[in-house]
Amino acid sequence: MKLHTHGSHTTPNQSRAFVTRQFPVAPFKAWRRVAPAPNIMTGTVGPKAPRRPSRCHIQSMNVEVFRNPDSSRLVPSLSQPQSFYPLASRGFTLHTTPAALNLDHLNTVFVAVGFPKRDPAKIRTALDHTDAVLWVEHTKSSGKPVAFARATGDGVFNAIIWDVVVDPSFQGIGLGKAVMERLVAVLLERGIVNIALYAEPRVVGFYRPLGFAADPGGIRGMVYSRKQQKKR
């Protein structure tokens, strides 16, 4: 399951959550408009800044969706999302550090959901540069992830969610939802409200109940291409 919508307006007390992800299909970017928006450089609330996000060296993308940090769907407990309670009773454990993560098995999950196989050394480097990571293991799969997601960013204003995957053998029981809820909660706990991800159109509906929304308002994400640069 590769996890990665219609714009709406919220109350003046809500701020825009800027939320992102990689996929090789036709790009279509989504936005949520809320007001007033925090200044992304200072964190202060003021006049809405121009909606001109800059994205560089993104390998590929589909739909960019945004989360409203004041959404009522935010879980009250940052240590354990409500959706994870029944899963914990079934032998699943939620981890917030990659220390015991089996990278070879993570690669297996990536391939199983359609991601390209990655060099384990490069995965480790990516994790070293990751600001937040969430993964789930089952009691019968020591160190082997059955669900995974991570976020990168500047550590203050912006974060991008990547690599949201669930082992096909464990899909449909709420693992993806639990991982996403906890990951967003971790970022919000750190004061990061601009959270972004890219999604394939077929899985955009997965994010809507979690507080994400897409707005085809004419703003498009852009992917760097050397071939495109040569056309100029």
**Domains with residue ranges and CATH for the chain:** 68-196 (3.40.630.30)
Which pLDDT score is estimated for 198? 81
Alpha-helical segments (H) within 9-164: 85-88, 103-112, 120-128
Largest alpha-carbon pair distance within the chain? Answer: 58
Query: Is residue 95 a contact partner of residue 60, using CB atoms and an 8 Å limit?
Result: no
- Which residue type, as a one-letter code, is found at position 107? N
> What are the residue numbers of the active site?
207
| pTM of this structure | 0.64
For strand 194-199 and strand 158-166, is the pairing parallel, antiparallel, or unpaired?
parallel
pLDDT in tens, 60-117: 334 445 554 444 333 333 445 555 667 877 889 889 899 889 999 999 999 999 999 9
- CA torsion, points 220, 56, 4, 5, in degrees to nearest 10? -20
* CA angle (28, 111, 79) in 5-degree steps: 75
Taking the C-alpha atoms of residue 86 and residue 144, their distance in angstroms, rounded to an integer, is 20
Intervals of the chain under pLDDT 50: 1-64, 68-79
